[in-house]
Amino acid sequence: MSNSVERWDIFEVKLNGPSEGNPFVDVQVAARFSYKHREVVVDGFYDGDGVYKVRFMPDTVGEWRYETVSNVPALNGKTGSFTCTEPSAGNHGPVHVHNTYHFAYADGAPHISVGTTCYVWNHQGDELEELTLETLRSAPFNKMRMCIFPKHYRFNANEPPHFAYERKADGSWDFKRFNPEFWRHLEKRVGQLRDLGIEADLILFHPYDRWGFADMGAENDDFYLRYAVARLASYRNVWWSMANEYDLMESKTMADWDRFFRVVQESDPYQHLRSIHNCRGFYDHNKPWVTHQSVQHSDLEAVRDWRETYRKPVVVDECKYEGNIDMGWGNISAQEMVHRFWQGTVGGGYVGHGETYLHPEDILWWAKGGKLHGESPERIAFLRKLLEENAPHGLDPLPPVGKWGWVRRDRARSGDSYYLFYFGIAQPGRFEFELPEDKKYKLDIIDPWGMTITPVEGTYSGQFMLDNLPSKPYHAVQARMVE
């Protein structure tokens, strides 16, 4: 047991206790961590072979103490202490909501969310999983949507190497006995994502199931949630997604989804981000336990409307995927994917990537990871860099204007310092811009596909017509304040 851990890393208390009976059910273990007069109570979990663990993510530099609490004497009243040190470079802590519509790390560093989806990359065996990690190393993504449970669906016929549960003698699952090996593997992958600077958007339930995990019953669902949170919440890069396509899970009611949110909310000492992903209709993101909107939708022009409706960050995790499969949600072009990223961005939201190119061995990035084959990631990297340099705390769309209250869906800004106009399918040869009268701006013409930034001569203020624009679709203009 190390006596020192850096801020937002994991301090783990490991204890030996009983292994007879069913320790998952019979034994409760927790620890009270304290810093000066502040206390944080953290649930522990059984990790098999008589080993119990309590994991803690300290958020404050200094001396921490702890004392364990258990219904089993061997695990009760154990005390200790450790030093929480300054975080190392690249460790900014967990991501939280910032300025209503945006995100930031706990240390205040900005977080421009650029997600991708590999639903069950962590169920593919080491070879492919390591290839996925290698791909991610140079990919532009800082969030990964991934399922805890395996997936049964088209292109997803293979059996996973490990399961979350032990089987009973009759071969059926014992939903009261977890398989620690499975969970340790999951944690290893979550930790590897963290080390790559990637948030793990963990999908707790999903409908694509042939094993029975989509329909375990309410008691087992809650039991599972508490175990998952106890094991994983100390990973600073965890986000909780109650479901992928919650509305396709016929075994669950809206009351179930509400309860899942509350179970996670009450169990998680760190209040990681929480959301839920839809197929057809949105869950009511106004509910207080929802921290941000996780959206499946194809109309990226509506992002600004959803912002206003729910007053929370909009993450369009699924707006169709770049690919060429025979299903409409998985065959948009790279050009269209890039377009949607830009549309969502000027709407003041965050768009997610996915890729579904037909593959001879059914290794589609969207489900299994592997390699990226598409042309959008490079352009997404270009956009991410542009935003991080010019609008690190996010973009906000401009308010409606004029006597009809026209909503301009082509422009956003970061305060007065930066304006971004994205013309999408429009191809103006000239365009009338509106900037603050009392500031001066340098303009650039941006080609999001060609990844070029071409300066426009002069400085600009107020309302003006800019001629000699490219007259081609999918271009943008940025205005950066110079004084």
For a copy of itself, the binding residue among 211, 289, 431, 460 (CB under 8 A) is 431
Interface residue with a copy of itself, options 61, 133, 358, 381 (CB under 8 A): 358
**Residue 30, SS3 per DSSP:** strand
- Contact pick of 288, 328, 360, 399 for a copy of itself (by CB under 8 A): 328
Query: To the nearest whole angstrom, how small is the minimum distance from the Cβ of residue 64 to a copy of itself?
Result: 52
Distance CA 294, CA 241 (A): 8
Give yes or no for residue 38 binding a copy of itself (CB under 8 A): no
Cα–Cα nearest to 342, from 474, 150, 439: 474
- The verdict on 426 binding a copy of itself (CB under 8 A) reads yes
Residue 73 DSSP one-character state: G
C-alpha to C-alpha distance for 101 and 79, rounded to whole angstroms: 41
Largest Cα separation within the chain, whole Å, is 79
In sequence order, what are the residues at sequence separation of 6 or more whose Cβ sits closer than 8 angstroms to the Cβ of residue 102?
110, 313, 393, 394
CA 69 to mean position of chain CA atoms: 33
Q: Is 451 in the site for a copy of itself (CB under 8 A)?
A: no
Buried b (16+ CB within 10 A) or exposed e, 45-82: bbbbeeebbbbbbbbeeeebebbbbbebebbbebeeeb
Task: Choose, by CB under 8 A, the member of 266, 284, 471, 482 that binds a copy of itself.
Answer: 471
- Rounded-to-integer distance, Cα 249 and Cα 208, Å: 9
**Member of 357, 366, 422, 449 binding a copy of itself (CB under 8 A):** 357
How many CA atoms does the CB half-sphere of 23 hold within 13 Å?
Answer: 23
Token readout for 418 is: 């930066």
206 or 236: CB nearest a copy of itself: 206
The Cα–Cα gap between 155 and 363 comes to 7
Check residue 402 for interaction with a copy of itself (CB under 8 A): no
- φ/ψ of residue 431, rounded to 5: -155, 140
Alpha-carbon distances of 451 from 338, 377, 454, rounded to whole Å: 11, 12, 10
- Is residue 100 a contact point for a copy of itself (CB under 8 A)? no
Continuous segment of H or E residues that includes residue 378: helix 376-390
Does 428 interact with a copy of itself (rule: CB under 8 A)? yes
Contacts with a copy of itself, 280-319, as mask; x by CB under 8 A:
x---------------------------------------
Our finding on whether 326 is near a copy of itself (CB under 8 A) is yes
Binding window for a copy of itself (CB under 8 A); candidates: 65-73, 111-119, 377-385, 469-477 = 469-477
Smallest distance, a copy of itself to C-beta of residue 452, A: 19
Binding mask 10-29 for a copy of itself (x = CB under 8 A): --------------------
Which window, 60-68, 119-127, 288-296, 332-340, contacts a copy of itself (CB under 8 A)? 332-340
CB-CB neighbours of 276 under 10 Å: 27
Taking the least distance from each CB to a copy of itself, the nearer of 192 and 335 is: 335
Q: How many residues bind a copy of itself (CB under 8 A)?
A: 29
Using CB under 8 A as the criterion, which residues of the chain lie in contact with a copy of itself when the complex forms? 280, 323-326, 328, 331-333, 335-336, 357-358, 404, 410, 423, 425-432, 465, 469, 471-473
